[in-house]
């Protein structure tokens, strides 16, 4: 089987009815490559949400992808340029932190994710249940983008990528310094530096890095980047300054950092120019195109250098030279001897294990789900997440369904009068703490209302019933009835200081609304019977009182 | 009840208003005063709608109110307050009450009761909050009245249960500012209010509104600032607040935790979920470290800043902050720092060319990895990699402070600091270089670290390079290769940026004198000497060669074996450099050469310094000149002045002192010359020449005295008296000269009066110094004062003339340290022949770069003056941000001056110079008049009458060639 296999999407016709919306987190092809196929060939007419930079850059990449697949590889069942255009018409662009109401229930909100220009994490919310999907993100800032950030939105589920689940990286600054030092040394020696890159993302980061270094160090050697895609992409980077990091945003008033002073467009003829130079050329793995051409020209000179800024797939020239091969067999049985220096620098823009944990700490989700990574590595991270945050963590395989239990909130309307009355009782309400309220819950016509008992009775047309508890307590006391009552009264008064205890003229005692009466026992005059009576609302106090009386009165002095 | 109360108050105050009116009109005949409140009253009565009333109040608020009428105005306002139904107008009135009670000189206790009464009937929350604010103002105005404060606090406590956050906020603020602080008062309060302020505030730590929570923490901090010792029990409460949802709460909580950690560093707190216990300061340190990776950058900055001041933390926790374990696919990986260290210790140079050089090594136990740091772990690693530069700067600063107090920590944080040299923001880079310089006593740089440090020398920013030179001045290098590397990089720097010459030489001077033994083996290579062959003599004017020699000579100072390695021409070059660059080349004891001047034994302390002695002796001589004839005095003075000036040139450390005294003597000389008797006795028509001379002398003395007063740092009040005295004499001289030249008496009256006023103010200002001035001009003058006041101008002049002549010369005591303010314009150099061309009518920016020495408060005093050939002068005030402070007593001005002119036919030179501005009332009245808080629109105060403003040029003018071209049409 060959991948990508778009037939995986669905075989059963149009999808508009099944989906409310489609969200694209960023423009990398592993996140948006099948979009035109999906919307035009499978069929989807609903909204597609992406950020502004993604919307701008995505069609260029898709077009490039289509060209390579159709024109070079000869794939037939593939989308056309027109389809890309039609697809892009369905796109709705969103801003960061803008809440978009997709339909009556569903709302989405984008957060900054770093990674590449315009990458976003999305919060998807229905009622009070929410999911955050991170897409790819980066928690450490680089030369052109900031770090991912999310507020304490406490989603029910956080779906996070986990590319580097088992890696903790060294500081970016060390890598950058190494990189610059190598380039600087080579250029000073008079050598040429080749940096094979992919058109978007790392290319711009490294451009900014070299540009500022050249500026700082007052260097004169020319820097070139290959024309075409990179040039177009740089144009968009210039436009979307607000999506870049602090430094670029702050200095943009004086000068847009993407208006390179030292970096110029490359021409094929420049490769043979004498003297030092630095060239960014596509593609990044040295498997074809301009970068390979330049590599063949420069490989023979030991003064030159090639720096691989990223991962290389097995079988490519890039991978071969990185694994130390010095003699390469090119097409046509040519043997190319590599004398130039080969360097490897990892400039990756995914969050490492620490970064993932940091994001979880920021968002405080109730559940975590790991995707976009290898099972074995995810296992480790899962264990760590469960251990540190005490939240459940899932890592479903492709096609596997995970069920997550949530505690949805059910909104209930409450009349203002009742709310005010109930909050007035007791101390001021505490922040975010549940508060107990008394009322009657009415479930009527698919709506919930909390009303006062009287109102509930009125609405339902019911008569009010009183429920009273009565209890008899026997006390051994030879004295007269009213003396006993007086003793009880004094006793209660002494204990229940916060309540109003009253001795009524008719010989009974009231504690709040609880009534206590004493009668002599019909058979035994030495035993007095205390009758305690309370309504069900006062159940707590009433039962406390009976238990108190059952203990008996203190011996009078 | 409320209506009754209202009525009562209403009656009461109408009475008061009437009284007020009577009072004012009977007491003073200034009709404007009562009309102020009356006008307001009329206005407010006229107002038909709340909007109108609001307009009137706003207008009223723009003008200040005199102290006497404040109370009346308050009554009027209160009357309207009770009548008013509209909340916004009441709000404005309440805020006006607060503003009015701030009026200086007004004691607000009389309006306090009214303000408290108004609180009781108020329904609107906003107005309530504003009224509480007013009460707060009243309370702060009455600091020494505990009963008032108690009452206000009680009122505030009552309103703490209000449902609006604004009201609760203000209540807490009030309690924080006015709550009882002393123990004794608190006891008393217990009987009255039976409440403990800390407990009341603490209860609001978990209020439902985040703003109230913040206010509660702030109130607690306010109490702490006012001197109340907070209870330790708050600590656990504060810790809970660190996890609050709102950043302002967390930010304040971090501060509170810090305060508590400083109060109770040694108490023991338990660690939750285990039965261990640790010191509170360690626990707090861990908690604040945790906040360095908070979601909000405000909190992160706050946390990082506070970390620096927690020096009591134990080293174990401190070192954790730099901890970072790397792994890749669950296998342990070494950080770049560790690798560099290993490579260094194994004696290998970093190849850095292998893929998988950093390949992960051992497997790690999955259970042992701590992904989310607990406590202090990796706090600085996080802080230094933060995306906001504010956080990074704060982290670097904190690192600096902690490293200064702990050498072992300094050693550990070195790698991280070196990394910061490559930050993308220049401020951060600069800060980290400065930090490194500050901790350089505790550290020795490894070679690979030095390599990274030196790479920054190529930076195009001058500030960075110079900071780095300063850093290298005080670094310890461990190997001779290190020294060599540093030298090579510095020379590279020199060729790339020749303007750095001075700074690099200075740097090498210190580098050499710090590491003589490391330089020694390098000498043959550096001087390129050969055991058998003579090598060609290098060019003496080559800055790079001079740089090498500076390094070697300074090393040779403490390494007597080194000169043996020198070749002949090196000795010659030494002699030359010792003369031309004496501040960089130390005196050496060279074999076979007699260098007497260099044989000064270093044991001589400045006290016995012959030049110092010379200074004092020559002054002694001058002060005893009374017995000499006038001619002799003049000659003596002239010679002494010449000597002193020469001394100042030779001995840089005595220059300030010598110049100062020379100027003083110069003044005296001028005075003597002007008063020469025989000239004054000539007939009236011949006055002319004499008058010109005398008035010129008077003018010059005035100028010189201003220079003496304002251009020297370290001038004490003793000197100021003498200077002012000299100025007074000059003014007397001026008066005499004018009296002789002007006809008629009328103008003289004014002048005399002014002079007498000045004498009077002199007496008032320096009353304590007068006993030291026996026999001086002013002493005699004060004796004659009663006579002077009553006599006619002509007599006054006569008296003055004789007193001036008879008065003795005052002895000028010298302060310990005296430095003359100097400025040196580095850029523009004034050497360019290419005119700066620009289109007339437009502006051109001229970069000005100057060093200032011994200037106090340069931001306020230093100005740039541009003189155009047509005599037009332009004065520019540089921005405060243009001044940098690289060291004590030194400043650097880097600014841009905008030039513009109409078209010229040919290029011409303009002059740029620096001026020192002064105003004579600045020195005395160091306490500036506080700005009126009444209203922002109040105009700036007019300068006081006797303040004399002026400028002193204190740098050499630099000529700039410019050419404004006519605009093309």
Predicted confidence (pLDDT) per residue in A170-223, tens digit: 778 888 888 898 899 999 999 999 999 887 778 888 888 899 899 888 888 999
Which range has the worst mean pLDDT, A536-545, B184-193, B259-268, B826-835?
Answer: B184-193
Task: Give the per-residue pLDDT at B112.
Answer: 81
For the cut 70, the answer to whether the pLDDT of residue B683 exceeds it is: no
Query: Given CB atoms, is B448 within the 8 Å cutoff of chain A?
Result: no
Chain B positions in Cβ-Cβ contact with residue A422 (cut-off 8 Å): none
- Residue B781: name the closest of B739, B747, B742, B752 by CA: B752
Q: Which of B207, B387, B458 lies at the smallest CB-CB distance from A246?
A: B387
Query: Given CB atoms, is A212 within the 8 Å cutoff of chain B?
Result: yes
Chain A positions in Cβ-Cβ contact with residue B206 (cut-off 8 Å): 430-431
Residues B244 and B393 in one domain: no
In a domain, B753, yes or no: yes
* Cβ contact, residue pair A166, B387, below 8 Å: no
Share of chain B above pLDDT 90, in %: 8
- Residue B550: name the closest of B591, B499, B504, B599 by CA: B504
Residues A149 and A187 in one domain: no
* Cβ contact, residue pair A432, B337, below 8 Å: no
d(CA B585, CA B570): 13
Most confident of A30-34, A445-449, A451-455: A30-34
Range of the domain at A370: 15-166+349-394
Residues A216 and A140 in one domain: no
For the cut 60, the answer to whether the pLDDT of residue B348 exceeds it is: no
Task: Assign B249 a pLDDT band (cuts: 50, 70, 90).
Answer: very high
Query: Given CB atoms, is B326 within the 8 Å cutoff of chain A?
Result: yes
For the cut 80, the answer to whether the pLDDT of residue B484 exceeds it is: yes
For the cut 90, the answer to whether the pLDDT of residue A352 exceeds it is: no
In a domain, A271, yes or no: yes
C-alpha separations of B636 from A352, A381, B45, B193, B723 in Å: 83, 92, 82, 80, 21
Q: Alpha carbon A376 to chain centroid distance?
A: 23
Residues A136 and A20 in one domain: yes
Structure tokens given for B687? 């006055």
Residues A109 and A180 in one domain: no
- Mean pLDDT of all residues in chain A? 86
In a domain, B355, yes or no: no
Chain A positions in Cβ-Cβ contact with residue B241 (cut-off 8 Å): none
In a domain, B364, yes or no: no
Query: A319, A354, A370, A389: best mutation site toward chain B, by most B Cβ within 10 Å?
Result: A354
Residues B425 and B465 in one domain: no
Task: Assign A44 a pLDDT band (cuts: 50, 70, 90).
Answer: very high
Q: Which of B353, B366, B419 lies at the smallest CB-CB distance from A173?
A: B419
Q: What CATH number did the domain enclosing B105 receive?
A: 1.25.10.10
B725 neighbors B776 (Cβ within 8 angstroms): yes
Tally of structural domains, chain B: 5
For the cut 70, the answer to whether the pLDDT of residue B6 exceeds it is: no
Residues B553 and B479 in one domain: yes
Query: B371, B492, B496: best mutation site toward chain A, by most A Cβ within 10 Å?
Result: B371
H or E stretch at A392: strand A392-394
In a domain, A90, yes or no: yes
Summarised one tens digit per residue, pLDDT across range A247-260 is: 888 888 888 888 88
In a domain, A219, yes or no: yes
B222 neighbors B175 (Cβ within 8 angstroms): no
In a domain, A9, yes or no: no
Task: Give the per-residue pLDDT at B346.
Answer: 52
Task: Give the per-residue pLDDT at A94.
Answer: 95
Summarised one tens digit per residue, pLDDT across range B201-241 is: 888 888 888 899 999 999 999 989 888 888 888 898 899 89
Which range has the worst mean pLDDT, B330-344, B504-518, B729-743?
Answer: B330-344
Q: What CATH number did the domain enclosing B958 receive?
A: 2.60.40.10
Chain B positions in Cβ-Cβ contact with residue A171 (cut-off 8 Å): 324, 335-336, 381, 384-385, 419
Q: Which of B206, B327, B333 lies at the smallest CB-CB distance from A430?
A: B206
Alpha carbon distance, N-terminus to C-terminus of chain B: 84
d(CA A451, CA A457): 10
Residues in chain B: 969
d(CA B321, CA A355): 17
Residues B756 and B773 in one domain: yes
d(CA B287, CA B377): 10
In a domain, B448, yes or no: no
3-state secondary structure B479-523: CHHHHHHHHHHHHHHHHHCHHHHHHHHHHHHHHHHHCHHHHHHHH
What integer is the mean pLDDT of A44-58?
93
Range of the domain at B556: 458-589
Tally of structural domains, chain A: 4
Residue numbers of B between 219 and 238 with CB closer than 8 Å to A = none
Across the strands, what pairs with A528?
A475, A520
Chain A positions in Cβ-Cβ contact with residue B356 (cut-off 8 Å): 344
Task: Assign A433 a pLDDT band (cuts: 50, 70, 90).
Answer: low
d(CA A202, CA A241): 17
Q: Which of B161, B295, B496 lies at the smallest CB-CB distance from A362?
A: B295
Number of residue pairs across A and B with CB atoms under 8 Å? 125
Residues B766 and B891 in one domain: no
Residues B687 and B795 in one domain: yes
What integer is the mean pLDDT of B398-405?
90
Residues A383 and A494 in one domain: no
Summarised one tens digit per residue, pLDDT across range A468-522 is: 888 888 888 777 777 888 888 888 888 887 778 888 888 788 887 888 888 877 7
- Residue B429: name the closest of B469, B456, B398, B460 by CA: B456
In a domain, A229, yes or no: yes
- Residue A198: name the closest of A233, A169, A159 by CA: A233
* Cβ contact, residue pair B371, A388, below 8 Å: yes
Contacts of A3 (CB under 8 A, 6+ apart): none
Task: Assign B933 a pLDDT band (cuts: 50, 70, 90).
Answer: very low
Q: What CATH number did the domain enclosing A229 receive?
A: 3.40.50.10890
* Cβ contact, residue pair A168, B207, below 8 Å: no
Task: Give the per-residue pLDDT at A416.
Answer: 84
Residues A362 and A338 in one domain: no
Residue numbers of A between 439 and 478 with CB closer than 8 Å to B = none
Chain B positions in Cβ-Cβ contact with residue A217 (cut-off 8 Å): 458-460
Residue that finishes a domain, picked among B747, B771, B806: B806
Residues A331 and A246 in one domain: yes
Q: How many CB atoms lie within 10 A of CB B331?
A: 15
Query: A216, A357, A382, A427: best mutation site toward chain B, by most B Cβ within 10 Å?
Result: A216
- Mean pLDDT of all residues in chain B? 78
Residues B152 and B169 in one domain: yes
In a domain, B641, yes or no: yes
Q: Which of A168, A173, A388 lies at the smallest CB-CB distance from B326?
A: A168
For the cut 90, the answer to whether the pLDDT of residue B639 exceeds it is: no
In a domain, A500, yes or no: yes
Residues B130 and B218 in one domain: yes
Contacts of B489 (CB under 8 A, 6+ apart): B454, B455, B457
Question: Shortest Cα distance from B166 to chain A (angstroms)?
Answer: 16
In a domain, B1, yes or no: no
Q: What CATH number did the domain enclosing A110 receive?
A: 3.60.15.10
For the cut 80, the answer to whether the pLDDT of residue B376 exceeds it is: no
* Cβ contact, residue pair B372, A358, below 8 Å: yes
Residues A389 and A267 in one domain: no
Alpha carbon distance, N-terminus to C-terminus of chain A: 99
Chain A positions in Cβ-Cβ contact with residue B425 (cut-off 8 Å): 247
Which range has the worst mean pLDDT, A116-120, B20-24, B445-449, B515-519?
Answer: B20-24
* Cβ contact, residue pair A170, B425, below 8 Å: no
Which range has the worst mean pLDDT, A111-125, B468-482, B673-687, B739-753?
Answer: B673-687
- Residue B89: name the closest of B144, B126, B132 by CA: B126
* Cβ contact, residue pair B337, A174, below 8 Å: yes
Query: B157, B167, B293, B372: best mutation site toward chain A, by most A Cβ within 10 Å?
Result: B372
d(CA B719, CA B726): 11
Query: Given CB atoms, is B387 within the 8 Å cutoff of chain A?
Result: yes
What integer is the mean pLDDT of A9-19?
86
SS3 A41: helix
Structure tokens given for B944? 């006081």
Largest CA distance in chain A: 127
Residues B246 and B335 in one domain: no
Residues A250 and A178 in one domain: yes
In a domain, B816, yes or no: no
Query: Given CB atoms, is B328 within the 8 Å cutoff of chain A?
Result: yes
Q: Which chain B residue is nearest to residue A389, measuring alpha carbons?
A: B372
Question: Shortest Cα distance from A489 to chain B (angstroms)?
Answer: 31
Going through A25-128 in order, the beta strands assigned E by DSSP cover: 48-51, 91-94, 99-101, 106-112, 120-126
B899 neighbors B866 (Cβ within 8 angstroms): yes
d(CA B475, CA B489): 15
SS3 helix, strand, coil % of chain A, rounded to 5?
A: 35, 20, 45
Summarised one tens digit per residue, pLDDT across range B854-866 is: 888 888 888 888 8
Task: Give the per-residue pLDDT at A555.
Answer: 66
Question: Shortest Cα distance from A192 to chain B (angstroms)?
Answer: 16
d(CA B938, CA B574): 66
Summarised one tens digit per residue, pLDDT across range B901-924 is: 888 888 888 888 888 888 765 444
Residues A230 and A255 in one domain: yes
Residue numbers of B between 409 and 428 with CB closer than 8 Å to A = 419-420, 422-425
Task: Give the per-residue pLDDT at B27.
Answer: 42
Name residue, tokens 């949530």: A406
In a domain, A332, yes or no: yes
Query: A149, A172, A174: best mutation site toward chain B, by most B Cβ within 10 Å?
Result: A174
In a domain, B220, yes or no: yes
Task: Give the per-residue pLDDT at B317.
Answer: 83
Summarised one tens digit per residue, pLDDT across range B362-374 is: 566 665 566 555 5
User: To 5 degrees, how large is the angle CA B852–CA B856–CA B857?
Assistant: 100
Higher pLDDT, B410 or B947: B410
- Please state the ipTM of this predicted complex: 0.80
* Cβ contact, residue pair B496, A383, below 8 Å: no
Residue that finishes a domain, picked among B547, B574, B589: B589
Residues A311 and A450 in one domain: no
Residue that finishes a domain, picked among B783, B806, B829: B806
Task: Give the per-residue pLDDT at B117.
Answer: 83
For the cut 50, the answer to whether the pLDDT of residue B601 exceeds it is: no
Residues A161 and A176 in one domain: no
What integer is the mean pLDDT of B547-551?
91
Q: How many CB atoms lie within 10 A of CB B426?
A: 14
Residues B320 and B464 in one domain: no
Question: Shortest Cα distance from A493 to chain B (angstroms)?
Answer: 25
DSSP state of B649: H
d(CA A189, CA B812): 66
Question: Shortest Cα distance from B608 to chain A (angstroms)?
Answer: 50
Question: Shortest Cα distance from B317 to chain A (angstroms)?
Answer: 20
Task: Assign B350 a pLDDT band (cuts: 50, 70, 90).
Answer: very low
Query: Given CB atoms, is B368 within the 8 Å cutoff of chain A?
Result: no
Task: Assign B443 a pLDDT band (cuts: 50, 70, 90).
Answer: confident
* Cβ contact, residue pair B325, A168, below 8 Å: yes
Summarised one tens digit per residue, pLDDT across range B62-87 is: 877 777 777 788 888 888 888 888 88
Residues B383 and B509 in one domain: no
Going through B741-843 in order, the beta strands assigned E by DSSP cover: 819-820, 822-827, 836-839
Query: Given CB atoms, is B359 within the 8 Å cutoff of chain A?
Result: no
Mark out the alpha helices in B179-320 (DSSP H runs). 183-192, 197-203, 210-225, 234-241, 247-263, 280-291, 297-307, 315-320
3-state secondary structure B126-169: HHHHHHHHHHHHHHHHCCCCHHHHHHHHHHHHHHCCCCCHHHHH
Question: Shortest Cα distance from A556 to chain B (angstroms)?
Answer: 35
Task: Give the per-residue pLDDT at A1.
Answer: 59
* Cβ contact, residue pair B352, A178, below 8 Å: yes
Is the Cα dihedral B642, B644, B647, B653 positive or negative?
Answer: negative
Residues B629 and B708 in one domain: yes
Is the Cα dihedral A58, A63, A66, A72 positive or negative?
Answer: negative
* Catalytic site positions of A: 161
DSSP state of B457: G
Query: Given CB atoms, is A388 within the 8 Å cutoff of chain B?
Result: yes
Task: Give the per-residue pLDDT at A36.
Answer: 93
Residues in chain A: 557
In a domain, A158, yes or no: yes
Query: Given CB atoms, is A326 within the 8 Å cutoff of chain B?
Result: no
CA atoms within 13 A on the CB side of B25: 10
Q: What CATH number did the domain enclosing B304 receive?
A: 1.25.10
Q: Which chain A residue is nearest to residue B338, measuring alpha carbons?
A: A170
């Amino acid at each position: 089987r060959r991948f990508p296999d778009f037939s995986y999407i669905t075989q059963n016709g149009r999808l508009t009815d099944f989906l409310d919306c489609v969200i694209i987190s960023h423009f990398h092809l592993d996140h948006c490559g099948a979009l035109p196929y999906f919307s035009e060939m499978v069929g989807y007419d609903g909204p597609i949400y992406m950020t502004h930079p993604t919307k701008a850059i995505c069609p260029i990449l898709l077009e490039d992808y289509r060209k390579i697949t159709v024109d070079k590889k000869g794939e037939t069942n593939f989308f056309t340029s027109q389809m890309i255009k039609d697809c892009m018409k369905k796109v709705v662009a969103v801003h960061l932190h803008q809440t978009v109401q997709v339909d009556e229930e569903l709302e989405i909100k984008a957060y900054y994710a770093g990674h590449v220009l315009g990458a976003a994490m999305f919060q998807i919310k229905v009622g009070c249940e929410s999911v955050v999907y991170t897409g790819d993100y980066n928690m450490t800032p680089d030369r052109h983008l900031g770090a991912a950030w999310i507020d304490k939105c406490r989603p029910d589920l956080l779906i996070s990528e986990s590319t580097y689940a088992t890696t903790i990286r060294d500081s970016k600054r060390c890598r950058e310094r190494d990189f610059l030092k190598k380039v600087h040394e080579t250029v000073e020696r008079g050598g040429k530096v080749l940096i094979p890159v992919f058109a978007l993302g790392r290319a711009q980061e490294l451009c900014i890095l070299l540009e500022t270094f050249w500026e700082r160090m007052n260097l004169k050697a020319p820097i070139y980047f290959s024309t075409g895609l990179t040039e177009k992409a740089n144009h968009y980077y210039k436009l979307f300054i607000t999506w870049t990091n602090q430094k670029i945003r702050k200095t943009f008033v004086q000068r847009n950092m993407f208006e390179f002073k030292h970096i110029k467009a490359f021409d094929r003829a420049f490769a043979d120019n004498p003297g030092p130079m630095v060239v960014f050329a596509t593609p990044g793995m040295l498997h074809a195109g301009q970068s390979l051409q330049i590599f063949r020209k420069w490989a023979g000179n030991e003064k030159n250098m090639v720096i691989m800024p990223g991962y290389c797939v097995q079988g490519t020239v890039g991978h071969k030279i990185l694994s130390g091969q010095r003699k390469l067999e090119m097409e046509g049985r040519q043997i190319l001897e590599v004398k130039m220096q080969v360097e490897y620098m990892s400039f990756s823009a995914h969050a490492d294990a620490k970064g993932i944990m940091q994001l979880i700490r920021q968002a405080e989700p109730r559940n975590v789900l790991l995707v976009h990574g290898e099972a074995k590595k995810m296992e480790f991270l899962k264990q760590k997440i469960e251990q540190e945050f005490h939240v459940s963590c899932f890592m479903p395989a492709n096609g596997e369904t995970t069920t997550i239990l949530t505690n949805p909130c059910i909104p209930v309307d409450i009349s203002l009068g009742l709310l005010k009355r109930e909050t007035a009782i007791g101390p001021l309400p505490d922040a975010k703490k549940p508060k107990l309220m008394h009322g009657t819950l009415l479930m009527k016509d698919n709506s919930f209302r909390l009303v006062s008992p009287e109102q509930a009775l009125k609405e339902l047309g019911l008569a009010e019933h009183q429920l009273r508890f009565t209890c008899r307590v026997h006390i051994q006391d030879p004295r007269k009835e009213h003396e006993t009552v007086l003793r009880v009264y004094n006793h209660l008064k002494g204990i229940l200081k916060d309540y109003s205890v009253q001795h009524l003229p008719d010989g009974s005692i009231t504690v709040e609304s609880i009534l206590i009466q004493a009668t002599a026992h019909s058979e035994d005059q030495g035993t007095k019977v205390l009758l305690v009576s309370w309504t069900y609302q006062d159940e707590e106090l009433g039962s406390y009182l009976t238990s108190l009386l059952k203990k008996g009165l203190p011996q009078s002095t | 009840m409320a209506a009754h109360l209202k009525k009562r108050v209403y009656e009461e105050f109408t009475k008061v208003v009437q009284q007020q009116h009577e009072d004012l009109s009977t007491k003073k005949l200034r009709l404007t005063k009562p009309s102020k409140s009356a006008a307001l009253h009329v206005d407010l009565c006229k107002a038909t709608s709340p909007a109108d009333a609001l307009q009137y109040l706003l207008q009223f608020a723009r003008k200040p109110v005199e102290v006497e009428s404040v109370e009346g105005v308050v009554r009027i306002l209160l009357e309207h307050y009770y009548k008013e139904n509209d909340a916004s107008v009441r709000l404005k009135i309440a805020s006006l009450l607060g503003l009015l009670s701030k009026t200086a000189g007004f004691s607000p206790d009389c309006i306090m009761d009214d303000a408290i009464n108004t609180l009781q009937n108020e329904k609107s929350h906003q107005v309530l909050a504003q009224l509480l604010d007013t009460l707060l103002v009243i309370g702060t105005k009455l600091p020494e009245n505990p009963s008032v404060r108690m009452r206000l606090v009680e009122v505030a406590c009552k309103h703490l249960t209000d449902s609006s956050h604004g009201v609760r906020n203000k209540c807490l603020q009030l309690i924080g500012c006015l709550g009882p602080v002393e123990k004794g008062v608190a006891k008393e309060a217990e009987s009255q209010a039976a409440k403990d302020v800390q407990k009341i505030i603490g209860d609001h730590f978990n209020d439902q509104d985040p703003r109230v929570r913040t206010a509660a923490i702030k109130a607690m901090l306010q109490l702490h600032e006012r001197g109340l010792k907070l209870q330790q029990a708050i600590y656990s409460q504060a810790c809970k607040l660190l996890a609050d949802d709102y950043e302002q709460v967390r930010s304040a909580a971090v501060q509170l935790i810090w305060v508590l950690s400083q109060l109770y560093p040694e108490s023991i707190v338990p660690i939750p979920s285990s039965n261990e216990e640790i010191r509170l300061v360690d626990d707090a340190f861990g908690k604040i470290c945790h906040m360095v990776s908070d979601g909000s950058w405000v909190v992160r900055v706050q946390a990082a800043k506070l970390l620096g001041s927690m020096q009591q933390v134990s080293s174990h926790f401190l070192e954790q902050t730099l901890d970072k374990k790397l792994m890749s696919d669950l296998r342990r990986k070494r950080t770049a720092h560790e690798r560099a260290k290993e490579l260094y210790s194994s004696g290998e140079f970093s190849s850095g060319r292998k893929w998988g050089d950093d390949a992960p090594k051992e497997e790690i136990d999955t259970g042992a990895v701590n992904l989310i740091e607990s406590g202090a772990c990796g706090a600085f690693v996080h802080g230094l990699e933060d995306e906001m530069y504010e956080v990074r700067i704060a982290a670097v600063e904190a690192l600096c402070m902690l490293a200064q107090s702990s050498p072992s920590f300094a050693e550990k944080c070195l790698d991280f600091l070196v990394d910061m040299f490559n930050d993308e923001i220049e401020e951060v880079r600069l800060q980290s270089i400065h930090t490194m310089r500050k901790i350089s006593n505790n550290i020795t740089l490894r070679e690979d670290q030095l390599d990274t440090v030196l790479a920054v020398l190529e930076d195009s920013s001058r500030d960075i390079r110079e900071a780095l030179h300063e850093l290298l001045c005080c670094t310890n290098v461990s190997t001779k290769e290190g020294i060599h590397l540093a030298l090579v990089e510095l020379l590279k720097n020199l060729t790339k940026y020749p303007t750095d010459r001075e700074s690099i030489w200075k740097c090498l001077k210190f580098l050499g004198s710090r590491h003589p033994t490391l330089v020694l083996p390098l000498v043959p290579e550096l001087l390129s000497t050969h055991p058998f062959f003579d090598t060609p003599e290098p060019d003496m004017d080559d800055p790079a060669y001079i740089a090498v020699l500076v390094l070697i000579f300074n090393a040779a100072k403490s390494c007597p074996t080194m000169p043996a390695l020198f070749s002949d021409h090196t000795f010659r070059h030494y002699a030359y450099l010792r003369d031309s660059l004496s501040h960089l080349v130390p005196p050496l004891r060279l074999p076979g050469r007699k260098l007497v001047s260099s044989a000064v034994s270093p044991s001589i302390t400045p006290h016995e310094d012959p030049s110092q002695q010379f200074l004092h002796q020559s002054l002694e001589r001058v002060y005893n000149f009374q017995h000499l004839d006038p001619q002799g005095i003049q000659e003596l003075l002239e010679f002494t002045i010449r000597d002193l000036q020469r001394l100042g040139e030779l001995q840089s450390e005595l220059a300030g002192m010598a110049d100062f005294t020379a100027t003083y003597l110069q003044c005296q000389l001028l005075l003597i010359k002007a008063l020469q008797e025989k000239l004054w006795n000539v007939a009236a028509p011949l006055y002319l020449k004499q008058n010109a001379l005398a008035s010129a002398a008077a003018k010059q003395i005035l100028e010189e005295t201003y220079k003496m007063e304002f251009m020297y740092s370290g001038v004490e009040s003793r000197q100021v008296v003498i200077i002012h005295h000299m100025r007074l004499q000059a003014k007397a001289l001026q008066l005499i000269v004018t009296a002789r030249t002007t006809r008629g008496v009328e103008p003289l009256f004014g002048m005399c009066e002014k002079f007498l006023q000045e004498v009077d103010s002199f007496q008032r200002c320096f009353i304590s110094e007068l006993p030291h001035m026996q026999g001086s001009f002013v002493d005699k003058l004060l004796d004659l004062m009663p006579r002077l006041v009553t006599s006619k101008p002509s007599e006054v002049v006569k008296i003055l003339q004789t007193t001036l002549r008879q008065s003795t010369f005052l002895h000028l005591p010298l302060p310990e340290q005296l430095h003359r303010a100097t400025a040196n314009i580095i850029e523009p150099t004034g050497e360019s022949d290419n005119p700066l061309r620009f289109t007339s009518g437009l502006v051109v920016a001229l970069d000005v770069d100057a060093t200032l020495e011994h200037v106090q408060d340069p931001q306020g005093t230093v100005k740039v003056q541009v003189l155009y050939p047509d005599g037009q002068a332009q004065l520019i005030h540089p921005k405060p941000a243009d001044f940098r402070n690289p060291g004590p007593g030194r400043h650097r001005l880097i600014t841009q001056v905008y030039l513009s002119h109409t078209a010229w036919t040919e290029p011409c030179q303009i002059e740029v110079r620096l001026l020192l501005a002064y105003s004579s009332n600045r020195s005395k009245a160091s306490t500036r008049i506080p700005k009126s808080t009444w209203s922002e629109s109040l105009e700036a105060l007019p300068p006081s009458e006797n303040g004399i403003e002026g400028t002193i040029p204190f740098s050499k003018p630099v000529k700039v060639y410019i050419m404004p071209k006519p605009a093309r049409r």
